[in-house]
Amino acid sequence: MNIEVFNKEGKATGRNVDLPDSIFGIEPNNHAIYLAVKSYLAAQRQGTHKAKEKGEVTASTKKIKRQKGTGTARAGSLKSPVFRGGGRVFGPRPRTYEVKLNKKVSRLARASALSLKMKEGAVKVVEDFTFEAPKTKDFANVLNSLQVADSKSVLISGEYNKNLHLSARNCANSRVVNANELSTYDILNCKTLLVSESAVKSIADTLS
């Protein structure tokens, strides 16, 4: 499918670029999208939570009261979970929340997400551009020109561009992602998807 190309001033260049139907025009697979987003969000969890159990608490092991005749339940140690400062029963332990995702499912999920954005009319192709120096103001002007400054957007670049990434770093509603690092979550977590011309080929090579 053909789509119009805009420049960083927000004006049509008069050129069109061909987006592969095998990526931007497929029937979205909702379950693949669900699995990919679940895997991404699970990977964001550190899993470093830890609580001390009875055997890890530092306290005296002396029997705190006699076994019988107190009128209350027997108790042998201050480490017991029933006492304040004692160990926790079945407390959290360090673990990984990683959810394995097959490569084919991951590719299908990204293609499905791109197709969804295409159906919503939320994809804009922008010609490649850069800045002489990293300036947030310059990147904000580009967003204003493309009329996406007031909503969340993601710019997919073909390759890493230091000035471009640094310029976008302080923009709350927008971020720059390399085509080879693009995730399903990045695609869905924005209202408008800005795709640079060089990124179209990178996406096609990665997902085809």
Q: What is the pLDDT of residues 147-166, one digit of tens each?
A: 999 999 999 999 899 999 99
Pair type for strands 153-157 and 2-6: unpaired
- Report the distance separating Cα 197 and Cα 7, nearest Å: 10
Residue 185: both structure tokens together: 């979550």
pLDDT at 200: 93
Sign for the CA dihedral angle at 178, 183, 184, 185 comes to negative
User: What residues contact 86, with CB distance under 8 A and at least 6 apart?
Assistant: 54, 57, 59, 78, 79, 80
Nearest CA to 110 out of 179, 187, 180, 175 is that of 187
The predicted model scores a pTM of: 0.83
Complete domains list, the chain, with CATH: 2-45+100-207 (3.40.1370.10), 47-96 (no CATH)
